[in-house]
Amino acid sequence: GMGWALLGVGLLLVLYTLLRHGLRSAPRPRARPALRGRTAIVTGGSSGIGAATALELARCGARVIVATRNALRGEAAASRIRRETGNEEVRFMHLDLSSLRSVRAFASTFLRQEPHLHLLINNAGVSTGGTTEDGFSLPFQVNHLGHFLLTQLLLERLRSCGPSRVVIVASSAHCAGRLHLEALGRPPPGLFSAFQDYCDSKLANVLHTRELATREQDTQVTCYAVHPGFVNTALFRHVPLWLKLLLVPLAWLLFLDASEGAQVVLDCATQEGLEPLSGRYFTDSGPQQPWAPGRDDRLARALWEGSERLVGLGAAEEGPSP
C-alpha cells in the first residue's frame, strides 16, 4: 500500500533528476565579438529568450532597444540589464505587435531617435489566441504579421547600416504548419485551432526568412530563422490548467532554460561569416533543412504578397527597391 506508493514516488524523483541532468548538457560558453557601436532591437526583450539575448548583446557592448508591450516590465528589464552589464546604452521602447498602429508608431519613433540599426531580433511570440484590433488571429499577427511589417519599415535603415542582420525566432513546430492563402490571418477551424495557429505562424517565420533573403540578395542585409530548442518560457502562460499540470514537469525535464535557448539566436546575430547562409533555418546544431513546407519557395512568395496586403504595405511605402 502506502510504502509501495512512496517508493514509486521516490523512484520517479530519482529518475526525473537523473534524466534532467543527463539530458541537458551544460551550454558551452561561446566567445562573442565586441559589438560596441552597433545597435540592436530585441522584440519581446523583457522576458525569456528575448531578455537573455538582450543581456548578452549588451554585455558585448551593443546599444540595445528592448521593444516590448508592457512598459513596467520593459523598463525593469532594461535597468536590470544596464546594472548587470555596466552598459548604459540599453533602453526600453514601447511596441505592441498585436496592433499594427503600434508597430508603425514604434518604427517612426525609432527611425527619428536612433541613427543606426544593425541587428533586428524578431523574438516576441505568443502561443494562443483571440483576435487582434486589426482583425487577425493573435498568434499569427504577433508572431508573423507584426514582425513582417516591423521588418519592412526598418529595412532601409538596416540596408544603410549594412552589413546588418535580421534574426527571426521560429520553431520546429513549423513542421505542422499549413498556410491557406485565401484565409491568411484568420484562426484555423477545428478542435486544435490554437495549436494549428501557432504552427502556422512558425511556418510563416521560416518562409518569411527565406523570401527576405532572396529579396535582399544584392544588399548587405542577411537573415536567419532560428529554432531555439524547446525553451521553458512564459509562452505557455495561456494554456488551460490541466494542460499546464502535464506540461510544466515535462518542460522542466526536457526544455532548456532561456539563456541556453538564447545561444542559437546569438550565434545567428553575431557569428562571423554566416552571410552565405542567409535565409537558412538554424538549430543548436547549426544550419538545418526546414521541414518540407518550410522549403516551398512558391508558398514563401505568396505568403509575402499576402502579408503585404494584410498589413497595408504598398510598394510606395517600402522606399525604392535596390
Give the active site residues: 198
- Look-up: residue for cell 516590448? 68
How far from the centroid of its chain's Cα atoms is residue 274's Cα?
19
- Report the distance separating Cα 228 and Cα 299, nearest Å: 24
Q: Are 174 and 294 contacting, i.e. CB atoms less than 8 angstroms apart?
A: yes
| Burial classification of residue 288, based on how many CB atoms lie within 10 Å of its CB (0-12 exposed, 13-18 middle, 19 or more buried) | middle
| Total H helices, total E strands in the chain | 10, 8
HEC string for 76-116: HHHHHHHHHHCCCCEEEEECCCCCHHHHHHHHHHHHHHCCC
The residues, ordered by sequence, that sit 6+ positions from 156 with a Cβ below 8 Å of its Cβ are: 318, 319
